[in-house]
């Protein structure tokens, strides 16, 4: 049998910090955290409340997780971030990247000073979280252009369609196709064709808002999603953006035939069954633009 004294040594040797927290958010005890690559000494927290240590919104989140573990009696697992901006008494300066933790929270079957308590084990998962973020980015990104791919576009447009249905927030869709691109490729080769594709992507990055969605939809087709933009403003923006592209692409030509862009514009409407209805309208408008002479903007 391990003695009480030996158990105390075991608890102190734990690499990850272990907290006993009361329902009111008081740090009753702190154990472990001996992996000094990731953790500071937490013994000074004993007797303080979570609200003494972190700012209000973050403290409320901690207390919500404690309540959940106490009410369900089961193991609660949560990932969360902490930065110097969350901690009281620190300047809003320092590392730009937050530290990510995985919390495992379990109700304990005894009271401390008349309060229910939980065991909160905090594991630093920053390296894992960064790797997962990089993998997600790679899975969502077109390799040539660095724009989003079709998978990411579909997820984001689904979210914006829900915003339309719930809050009447419009999202417009621009579909671009490069005119005469096959001729250019046949004349100059695929490597030069890639330069054209990348030039288009660079224009999108310089002209779009951070909230906009730019996607390489196919070989020389692109889709741009414009959240909170109605049809009238989308048409004006499409015209301006097509002029920017025209100027940039003027350096690319094949046999005297200019490489330009045709654009189809559509806006999600309440009668749409999904975002796909708006994409189909944008595709039809793009087809009409190509059929009517190319290098122009049509809307549906």
CATH number at residue 101: 3.30.450.20
Q: Are residues 116 and 249 in the same domain?
A: no
How many structural domains compose the chain?
A: 2
> Do 148 and 94 sit in the same domain of this protein?
no
Instruction: Please state the pTM of the whole predicted model.
Output: 0.62
Residue 166, domain CATH: 3.30.70.270
Of residues 246, 153, 150, the one with CA closest to residue 203: 246
Domain match, 120 and 20 both: yes
Quickly state the pLDDT bin for 77 (edges 50, 70, 90).
very high
Statement to judge: residues 223 and 271 lie in one domain: yes
Decide if 221 contacts 175 (C-beta within 8 A): yes
Domain that holds residue 285: 141-299
Instruction: Say if residue 250's pLDDT is above 60.
Output: yes
Q: What pLDDT sits at residue 5? A: 78
Task: Indicate if 65 and 110 belong to the same structural domain.
Answer: yes
- Give the confidence band of 27 by pLDDT, cuts at 50, 70, 90: very high
For residue 93, pLDDT beyond 90? no
Final residue in a domain of this structure, among 79, 112, 131: 131
Residue 136 lies in a domain: no
**215 within 8 A of 150, measured Cβ to Cβ:** yes
User: Does some domain include residue 193?
Assistant: yes
Chain CA centroid to CA 52, Å: 31
Our measurement of the distance from residue 20's CA atom to the centroid of its chain's CA atoms, rounded to an integer in Å, reads: 33
- Average pLDDT over all residues of the chain: 90
Which two tokens mark 121? 């084990």
Which ranges of 101-174 would DSSP assign to H, the alpha helix? 126-140, 150-167
The per-residue pLDDT for 47 is: 95
Q: In terms of domains, do 190 and 58 share one? A: no
- Tell which of 131, 149, 171 closes a domain: 131
Q: N- to C-terminal Cα distance for the chain?
A: 78
On the 0-12 / 13-18 / 19+ scale of CB atoms within 10 A, 12 is middle
């Amino acid at each position: 049998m391990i003695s009480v004294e030996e158990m105390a040594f075991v608890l102190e040797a734990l690499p990850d910090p272990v907290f006993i927290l009361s329902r009111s958010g008081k740090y009753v005890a702190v154990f472990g955290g001996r992996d000094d690559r990731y953790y500071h000494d937490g013994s000074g927290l004993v007797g303080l409340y979570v609200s003494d240590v972190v700012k209000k919104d973050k403290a409320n989140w901690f207390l919500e997780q404690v309540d959940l573990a106490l009410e369900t009696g089961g193991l609660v697992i949560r990932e969360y971030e902490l930065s110097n901006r969350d901690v009281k008494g620190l300047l809003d300066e320092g590392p730009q990247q937050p530290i990510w933790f995985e919390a495992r929270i379990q109700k304990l079957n005894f009271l401390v000073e008349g309060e229910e308590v939980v065991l909160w084990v905090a594991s630093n998962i920053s390296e894992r979280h960064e790797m997962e973020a990089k993998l997600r980015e790679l899975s969502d990104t077109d390799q040539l252009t660095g724009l989003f791919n079709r998978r990411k576009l579909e997820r984001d447009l689904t979210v914006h369609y829900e915003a339309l249905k719930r809050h009447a927030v419009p999202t417009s869709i621009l579909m671009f196709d490069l005119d005469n691109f096959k001729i250019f490729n046949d004349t100059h080769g695929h490597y030069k064709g890639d330069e054209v594709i990348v030039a288009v992507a660079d224009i999108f990055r310089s002209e779009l808002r951070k909230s906009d969605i730019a996607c390489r939809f196919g070989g020389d087709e692109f889709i741009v999603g414009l959240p909170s933009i109605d049809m009238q403003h989308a048409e004006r923006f499409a015209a301006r953006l097509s002029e920017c592209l025209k100027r940039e692409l003027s350096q690319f030509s094949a046999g005297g035939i200019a490489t330009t862009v045709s654009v189809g514009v559509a806006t999600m409407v309440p009668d749409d069954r999904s975002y796909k209805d708006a994409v189909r309208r944008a595709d039809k408008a793009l087809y009409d633009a190509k059929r009517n002479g190319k290098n122009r903007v049509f809307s549906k």
